Each structure stands twice: as C-alpha cells, then as structure tokens.
Structure 1
Amino acid sequence: MKLGKLLVALAGLALSLGVAGQTLAAEAGPVKIGVYLPLTGQNAFGGQLELEGVRLAHKEMPTVLGRPVDLVVVDNKSDKVEAANAVKRLVERDKVVALIGTYGSSLAMAGAEVAEKAKVPGVGTSCTNPLVTQGKKYYFRACFIDPYQGAAAATYAYENLGLKKAAVLMDMTNDYAVGLSSFFTRSFKKLGGEVVANLKYSSGDQDFTAQLTELISKKPDIVFMPAYFAEGAIIMKQARELGATFVLMGADAMDNPDTLKIGGKAVEGFLHTTFPYDVNMENMSAEAKTFTDAWTKNFPNKD
C-alpha cells in the first residue's frame, strides 16, 4: 500500500541527506533508484510480489522533482552476502541516489549496513526485524516491527482465544523467525501463559515429523511458527496427518496465496498476523484505496 509513495519519499530523503542529496540536487537527467529484492532462491515469492508493487508505483509516478525516475533492479538471490554486494554495486557502479528493499529481514540487515556506510538513504519494504533500522540514520522501513507483531500474536492467542499453553517451532537459521519467536515467547509469558516447548528446524527442511511428534506429546493449546509460506504449509499438512489438534499460528511471511495451494485442507483454522488490508475491507484508508484503484486499473484480471 505504501510503495506508491516510496519514489517521492526516497527522492526527498536523497535531497536532504548527505552526498546523495547534493548529487541529486546538482545533476540533471533521470533520478536513479536502486531496487534490490530476492527474485530467485528461497524468498523469491516475496521479492517478486514486492517488485510488482514497486513497478506499479513507478508506472503511477514515472517522474519526481520534474525528472524521470529510473529503477535499477538487482536480484539479491535470497542470500545475505549477495544482498550486501547488490547494494554495493547499486551505490558504486550504478550511482543510485536511494534504495528500495528488501523482502527478508536478514537480507535487509546486510544491505542496510552497506547503505549506511555509503550514506545512501533506503526504505525497507517488509523487513520487520528491528535490527534493520536500529542505530541507523539513513535506513528506514514501511512496515511494523516484530516486537509489535509478536506481542499482537501473543495477546490475541492468550486474551482473545483464551489459549494458555503455547509452544514455538522456528527456523533457527533465519533472523526473522528467531527474533519473532523470541518476541512472541516473551509477550506470552508476560501475559501469564506457559511456553512448554521451543523446537527448531533449518531452512529447506521438508520433514518435520520429529518436531511435530514432540509437540503433540507436550499438548500445547497453540503452536507459534513464524515460517515462510512454503515450509509453513508443509508443517500444517504434516501436523494434521499426525493427528495434531493444537491451533497453528504464523506471521506475515505466511501471507501468500500459495499457502492455500500447498496446504490444502490442512490450512483450515490457521491464523497469522499481517498488514491490515483486503480488497473488500470496510473503512479502507486513503492509501489503501489509491493502491487498490491503481492495481485494478493496471491488472484487471489479477488478484
């Protein structure tokens, strides 16, 4: 929803911050904005969706400050080293004055460090780990952060659903999952709930039988699993095949239509936190309405 304003906001940031701003103000020609997203690899589904949003914003706002905007798009390949290298190339080789990106907190943390040293402003899209922007003057974000998201999930589970006994299943190799699991656990315990297990897996795993069997033996009311949608959907299918009856809850990385395609009937009853938007929502904000109208106009046959 907010991507439609990023091009103008980034240009304004570049005008007011450091060397990039001086360059933008002094030179003629296109305003070059770098976009680094995971277009291949584990996080490609998120990066490709966000690139559609960035391109839609560009189509709706092809100029800024009276000058054409050029997008320089780089694939960070869902890899932290590649993310850092992508920002380095965009800044040093392509001479961009600002950055958009990236999906994936681990990737954004790596890219933001490079941008901060170069004093080139950037805006993260859906990177929710607080460390992405913590202590930085040049890096920002257009989304909530995981302390808020973790607390919201815990509060909803404990107070709204009345579930008092929780367990956590997380990807131990993913900064997003580790951080969000910690915030959920902390909030759930503070509310008075009990966390009976904290089990782990690694990115790319396909068999979760051992972890799910142990979770079933612990008899939690709810299992919090801040997974990406592909692994999350597999976990749901395997949990139901093993006869698990606990509630499964995830977070914003599960917000993908393919969750239903992969998980099928096992997705029934699944809960997850995410940004409050639906094309048919009541009391839609002005930003959401602008985005919805633009999307419908440009992609009339695509949800």
Structure 2
Amino acid sequence: MGNWKVATVAATVLTMVFAAGCGGKAETKTESKEIKIGGNFEMTGGVAQYGQSAANGIKLAFKEANAAGGVLGKQLTLIIADNKSEPAESANAATKLISQDKVVALIGPAASANVLASVPVATDSKIPLLTPTGTNTKITVENGKVKDYIFRSCFIDPFQGAIMANFASKDLKAKTAVLYVDSSSDYSKGLAQVFGDNFTKNGGKVLATEAFLQKDQDFKSALTKIKATNPDVIYIPAYYEEASKIIKQARELGIMIPMLGTDGWDSPKLPEIAGAAALANTFFSNHYSAQDKDPRVVKFVEAYKKEYNQDPDALAVLGYDGALMMIDAIKRANSTEPAKIKEALAQTKNLQVVTGMLSMDANHDPIKSAVIIEMKDGKQTFRTKVNP
C-alpha cells in the first residue's frame, strides 16, 4: 500500500472518529462501503491447519453474506494477519490489524494460547475479539472477572473434558486411565485436570500422569511406562501433530487399548501421520460431525466442498459459525462501532448456526452441544451427540 493511500485511510478514520464523538453519525458521513474485520490466524507454523480451516469458514460466510446484499448496506472485508502459530506473533498480528488496518472487530486466533496473547491488545484497544475455536476458560473469564470485549463461539474445555470422562466410564466401561499431557500447553493441562476429576467422580482411578512437550518426536519411553501400568484407556488432550505420533508409536509398542482425545485431534493430518490402522479404537470430542444428517450441516458441507474442493473439518465449521455470530451482532447493533458490536455479541440469543442453536451466557461463552467422533478405517465417524 502506497503512502498516499495510507494517508487517505488515516484521514477517513479520523473523520469517522471525530463525527462519532460529535454525535454518533460517523456511518452516515463516511463514504466507506466496507466493514473491515480482522482475522488473526495460524496460517503457517505448528497448527496452520487450524488457522487455515477457520479462515476458510469465515471467508465462505462473508462471501455468502456479501452476495446477499452485505451487512448494513456494506460489504464485509476479512483482513488476515498470520500469527505463525506463536503467542508473541499473535499479539503482533492483533496490534497490526487494529492500528494499521483499522478493523472494527477481530475473529481468531484458533489456538487458546494464541488467543490469550491477543486478549490484552484487543481489551486495551476496546475492539471486540471473538475466537471461534479457543476453548480455554481463561480466554473469557479470569480470577472471576468476565473480560468485557472478549467472546467465543465454541464450547469450553470443562465441557469436553467431562464429556470424555463420562464416555470412558459409561460407554467404554473403563475403570482405570492414564493421562498423557502436553506440559507446555495450558489447553492440555486444563483438559487433563477436568477429565481426571470427572473420571474419579465416576468411580474410576487415574493410575498415572505422563508428560511430553510440543514438538517432541519420540514418545516411546513414556509409552513404555504407561504400558506397564496396564490402564483401560489413555487420555491424550493434545493437538493433532503430537497426538498422531503418540498413537502411532503406542500401537507399535503393542498398546491396543482405547485412546481418547479432544477437538485438537481434528485434522486430515491425523490419519496421514498415525496411519488408518493405528487409529482403530480411538475417540475424541468435537464440535460437529460431517456425517450428521442435520440439513444445516449437509448444506454447509456441500457449500464448503464446492468452494474449496475439500471436506470441512470442525475448525472450518467453527470459523463459519463464528462469522455468522459476528454478522448477526453487527446487524443487531445496526452499527460498526466496536462498543456497540461488543454489546450485541454479549446479547446473542437463540442464533441458529451450523453446529446448533447458540446463546451467550454471562461469561461470554456459548451454550451449545458437542459430538464424540470415532475413527474407523482412518475416517471420522459420528458416534454420539451430547447436549449441555
């Protein structure tokens, strides 16, 4: 972008701010025909699959909305900044989108650690941030205080951790479990805690907790120790790259018991790395299943495949649903002012999205259902749906 264009944009923004301060009529005075939304996503790096899928879902939702006449008579523009799957880069991306690109709201990042790094930037700038996929409870509430400008459109970790503990106890009849945790990830540690607490409440026993670090390649030493405890199930709350390698190496060591995971497993890379055979007898909690026969799911899957020539994973549908939530909020706010969008997001109620009916609770977390996926022949199959 040339310097004269930067100056023009800056002048336009200053005009809007001045007009808003003098009577709230900025939108009638500006000639802008677009609503700029920032997409802070993992386009490269360790969890690029997540960021790319979520961004694709948002792009599809925006394309459909724009084709139907836009929002408030304007076209939605998604400006993406690559956070490179790193917390520090996520904060930088948020800063760039807000200060340089002048977005009125942020969607993303995908991974909880990257969302948490972006929260102070959005909060200080009074720009609403909506993560479609970040499940860590601290994103929206910390030390009992709800973060005014921060929202999510996906379920939270305690919900999916409890779901899998109940599934292990009641469906798989497991009496003993081992937790294999990514000690470099708050996401993994938090989920392990919730699973362990609920599994114990159900009468089960956690025999051991083993740890690994993100980017580890060799898991056989810990897996050998796990094998010696002879558990009924292993719970691995982790992202797909490490989870797939753990599963593959566990099977090579003759560990054939059920292995349970989380939405972090959801990626086409899981069967690519682990191998279809190794994934037999594995299950994970997720936000939706492409095999769900709900008409909204069927319609979304068809539209996504037509647009991108690939099947949508959960991150794609969550990106799409997050975009629908943002669009709905802007329409109800009848404004592109960040403070008004923030208020409308907080008041979201009974919004029909692909993954179900969505309403915000007092903690800026949605009340919605989840599914459990079983891997068969390297493919995700719908096992059951769990309502909140």
Report the TM-score, using the length of structure 1 for normalisation.
0.88
Q: CA 1:95–1:170 in 2, change beyond 3 Å: closer, same or farther?
A: same
Cα RMSD after superposing both structures: 1.8
Q: Which amino acid aligns with 1:145?
A: I
Q: CA 1:291–1:23 in 2, change beyond 3 Å: closer, same or farther?
A: farther
The Cα of 1:249 is off from its aligned counterpart by 0.7
In structure 2, what is the equivalent of residue 4 of structure 1? none
The Cα of 1:196 is off from its aligned counterpart by 0.7
1:302 aligns with 2:310: yes
In structure 1, what is the equivalent of residue 253 of structure 2? 242
CA shift digits 1:188-213 (9 cap, x unpaired)? 11111100111111110000011101
Separation in 1 of the partners of 2:194 and 2:236?
A: 12
Separation in 1 of the partners of 2:25 and 2:202?
A: 51
Separation in 1 of the partners of 2:25 and 2:112?
A: 29
In structure 2, what is the equivalent of residue 96 of structure 1? 103
Separation in 1 of the partners of 2:286 and 2:248?
A: 21
In structure 2, what is the equivalent of residue 179 of structure 1? 190
Q: CA 1:285–1:164 in 2, change beyond 3 Å: closer, same or farther?
A: farther
Q: Which amino acid aligns with 1:256?
A: S
The Cα of 1:290 is off from its aligned counterpart by 4.3
Q: Secondary structure at the match of 1:298?
A: helix
Q: CA 1:24–1:75 in 2, change beyond 3 Å: closer, same or farther?
A: farther
CA shift digits 1:11-51 (9 cap, x unpaired)? xxxxxxx99xx697464412110000011111111111111
Q: Secondary structure at the match of 1:195?
A: strand
Structure (1 or 2) with the larger CA radius of gyration:
2
1:31 aligns with 2:35: yes
Aligned residue among 263, 278, 287 for 1:275: 287
Q: Secondary structure at the match of 1:196?
A: strand
The Cα of 1:294 is off from its aligned counterpart by 2.4
Q: Which amino acid aligns with 1:45?
A: Q
Separation in 1 of the partners of 2:195 and 2:310?
A: 34
The Cα of 1:292 is off from its aligned counterpart by 2.7
Separation in 1 of the partners of 2:75 and 2:283?
A: 43
Separation in 2 of the partners of 1:177 and 1:121?
A: 26
Structure 2: gaps spanning 5 or more residues: 1-19, 312-388
CA shift digits 1:109-154 (9 cap, x unpaired)? 1112211221111210111111111121111111100000000000
Alignment check: 8 A CA contact 2:292 2:298 kept: no
Separation in 1 of the partners of 2:31 and 2:113?
A: 35
Aligned residue among 131, 138, 155 for 1:144: 155
Q: Which has the higher contact order (CA 8 A, sep 6+)?
A: 2
1:219 aligns with 2:245: no
In structure 2, what is the equivalent of residue 85 of structure 1? 92
Structure 1: gaps spanning 5 or more residues: 1-17
In structure 2, what is the equivalent of residue 70 of structure 1? 77
1:46 aligns with 2:58: no
1:122 aligns with 2:133: no
Q: Which amino acid aligns with 2:40?
A: Y
Q: Which amino acid aligns with 1:55?
A: K
Alignment check: 8 A CA contact 1:24 1:31 kept: no
Alignment check: 8 A CA contact 1:170 1:227 kept: yes
In structure 2, what is the equivalent of residue 56 of structure 1? 60
Q: Secondary structure at the match of 1:223?
A: strand
Q: Which amino acid aligns with 1:212?
A: L
Q: CA 1:131–1:25 in 2, change beyond 3 Å: closer, same or farther?
A: farther
Q: CA 1:295–1:24 in 2, change beyond 3 Å: closer, same or farther?
A: farther
In structure 2, what is the equivalent of residue 15 of structure 1? none
Show the 5 A alignment for 1:192-203.
Answer: 192-203=203-214
